[in-house]
Structure 1
């Protein structure tokens, strides 16, 4: 008959101490998803990746334009476009531009968005739609063509990196439904609402969706639509709907920041938008001047909300972050031939900002949405990895050896050895 759990073994020792041995937790890293980002965080991530500002604007606009064109070709809903653009922006904040082509990243973001929003499309269908947009109708291909075999694997590999860059956070804001409700509350015309709807799509060409709430984006788009359609019209901020700011937890500086982001797009990249080419650029410049004057009248006088400069030490600013040196031409991938997203490391999402010591550690990455839970876990786990030191002072007596002079003492005569100047030596030499 087998012994019970409380019964001791034949040696007289209980089995309970063996089962209650403390096991240290596995080494791992925790990444918490950021639902919102500040402009300062976005700039620091771009600088740490060594992103060129001119190329950054170009790749950002080309990628979102590619997503919009393919989305219209596949007749996908606008919520899929919003999700794909958001994932595309988050991906670019983590990976350098020379690690991928913007078409591959845009296709990976659109494939991820289709699965999240339940508008399922295969990677072959997305690539086929993008190809058919560039060729004539007689050269259209089907999704089962062998041409898309290799590219589809690249897109599937990028899908994994998209999820890691976002922290496996599937919470994406879709402000279109809020736009309809606020437009009805403001009793705006249908023409103004349609312009605001197009402005909302243009807004996803900027980083504003990563920074602002749905209500803030709706207020900014409706106000800009009113100012563009009717220059002499009363802005929304001075109407009787001003109480909605507090009701929707939105502030005027946040709306001003969103408006200026839109006006930067319409003044500098007018042709890369929907509403920009339909109106004169002078109108956007006049609106921007008026909003800049309003920003100067505020207490903070900052273009961006919650923007804090580097701390000062002895009345001197801290040295800014040194941009990452661009990779050599051999490391730049061209047409996906040198480096494939399938072979990229799973931890490459945050490897650009991790020091060398952290990169060499073994462990897993855990993605958590709740920041408080992650903080509690880190405090609990840190107890097992504390390194404690004890200092001791020990007196040790060491014997000092006497110094030895290895040089041979010779009497010197006019700087020469005396034995070579003796008469006997000279006599022998003469003999």
Structure 2
């Protein structure tokens, strides 16, 4: 197949002048030769934006003459050395996880990054995120409990319902999994989480009202301030600024879960009295938000664990009959779409909380420490006999040595939660990979992602399908080189 290329788009004035300088021209030979050389020099400097340059790549225009300039050939032959790529291939783009990100020579818009919301986060992912941020176990526990206590105290002062407390604490936990504790004050993050939860749960409160309630809790009534006081001007701007980061950390997932309703249903179904079992289980469903259990488990799992733990504790301290909750005639786990491993993990999380931080909880001071220790030993024996792991969905890395032969498989259980992996890292040393590296999001407060647009989705299946479609258009480049000679007539 023969292809004809027109040079009109390259340098039409120069080509026209070349035609005038043919053999029929009356100009002197020396003048003709000098002008011809100047025209050829101009033609060789093809602009980068020229259609021919875009089509052929780097164009090398070289005049090829015969042995003598007095050749009677009416044509000047130009040799093209061009490099082209396949039409369906990308133009100098680097492949990224979501289909590709253009480099400095790329053409076209960035395909964007996709972040899928995670309604549930397993214990292993939580620990990996905290380890990447350089958080230590002691400091993590302290900031988590202080932030939840701040939210609980302020929501009571503002007379907000429990559902607002639940949503605020979940947002606070997810925020801390993405942002290092050196980037913010825990009080600001807790206030921003409560401010977002008020909007989500339709219990609207202004940021100034949240800050004012927190301020008035620290001072006597004679020193209380109003929300319009100028002292809350700058803190209010900080809370509003953290609101966007709070939503990004949660993936703009406004779905919320409230186990208190299920607790009431389980108690009614078992036929047990509202007091003391119902009240204790309800308070325990609030205490469970001081742990990461709400991020890991469903509402039915949390509710059953709270009711069972309350029944066991009451059975140890009183003559309470717990057969309707625990045992063969107890609550049906299949009916509530859960299993014993998930319930056991939540029970041990609650016992960890009541054992190490009992005075920071509602239910903790109601029972003695001996009851918690005895109950933990009993549950550890059950887990060992049934081969129930301490944490569900835990994947051990390959070729990893286990200290003292202990593992997550349920063979041995320590009464104290193991230390967070990577806790011996220096807090000042930056992590090798942050938890948001894969999404392109920035973890530093106030810094937006500059690598491309970050899009948030709720459906993982839809995000996976879109990624597969986009990847087809960002395959690796395929190049082929060829040379082609084209005759350009200079005269009639």
- Please tell me the TM-score bracket, short chain as reference: 0.7 to 0.9
For the residues of structure 1 that align with 2:235 and 2:132, how far apart are their CA atoms?
A: 29
Kindly report the root-mean-square deviation, in angstroms, between the aligned alpha carbons of the 2 structures: 2.9
The corresponding residue for 2:304 is 219
- Deviation of residue 242 (structure 1)? 3.4
Residues 1:298 and 2:386 are matched in the alignment: yes
Unaligned 5+ residue runs, structure 1? 1-20, 332-347, 393-431
Shift of 1:389: 5.2
Contact (CA 8 Å) 1:63, 1:102: kept in 2 or not?
yes
1:371 maps to which of 446, 460, 464: 460
1:54-86 deviations in Å (ceiling 9; x for gaps): 100000000000000001100000000000000
The aligned counterpart of 1:362 is: 451
Q: 1:321 Cα deviation (Å)? A: 6.7
Q: Secondary structure at the match of 1:109?
A: helix
SS in 1 for 2:182: helix
What whole-Å deviation, never above 9, does each CA across 1:191-247 have from its counterpart, x for those lacking one?
11000000000000000000000000000000011111222633523153433x111
Q: Which residue of 1 aligns with 2:295?
A: 210
- Which of 311, 318, 335 matches 1:247? 335
Shift of 1:175: 1.1
How far did residue 362 of structure 1 move?
2.9
2:329 counterpart of 1:228: no
Question: Which structure carries more helix by proportion?
Answer: 1
Q: What is the TM-score of this pair, normalised by structure 2?
A: 0.66
Q: What are the residue-to-residue correspondences of 1:141-156 with 2, within 5 Å?
A: 141-156=225-240
> Aligned to 2:285, which of 200, 205, 210?
200
Q: Secondary structure, in 3 states, of the residue corresponding to 1:248?
A: coil
C-alpha distance in 2 between matches for 1:117 and 1:208: 21
**Secondary structure in 2 aligned to 1:380?**
helix
Q: Note if 1:163 corresponds to 2:241.
A: no
| Alignment of 1:136 onto 2:237 | no
Go from structure 1 to structure 2 and tell me whether the alpha carbon gap of 1:40 and 1:155 turns closer, same or farther (over 3 Å shift). Answer: same
Contact 2:136 2:423 in 1 (8 A): no
Query: Separation in 1 of the partners of 2:224 and 2:400?
Result: 63
| Deviation for aligned residue 1:326 | 2.4
Label 1:322 to 1:349 Cα distance change in 2 as closer, same or farther (>3 A). Answer: closer
The corresponding residue for 1:117 is 201
Contact 1:164-1:349 at 8 Å conserved across structures: no
5+ unaligned residues in a row in structure 2: which ranges? 1-86, 89-106, 403-420, 443-447, 482-492
C-alpha distance in 1, partners of 2:216/2:328? 48
Distance 1:388 1:323 in 2: 45
Aligned to 1:382: 471
Residue matched to 1:103:
187
- Asked if 1:312 is matched to 2:407, the reply is no
- Counterpart of 1:350 (choices 430, 436, 449) is 436
Alignment of 1:65-76 (within 5 A): 65-76=149-160
Deviation per residue, 1:317-363 (Å, 9 max, x gap): xxx879764238xx9xxxxxxxxxxxxxxxx982598699xx99731
- State the TM-score, normalizing by the size of structure 1: 0.75
The answer on whether the counterparts of 1:49 and 1:323 sit within 8 Å (CA) in structure 2 is no
**In 1, are the aligned partners of 2:113 and 2:439 still within 8 Å (CA)?**
no
Spell out the pairing of 1:411-422 with structure 2 (5 A cutoff). none
Return the alpha-carbon distance in structure 2 between the equivalents of residues 322 and 364 of structure 1: 33
* Alignment partner, residue 327 of structure 1: 428
Q: Distance in 2 between matches of 1:26 and 1:353?
A: 14
Aligned to 1:343: none
* Greater relative contact order structure (CA < 8 Å, 6+ sep): 2
How many matched pairs? 347
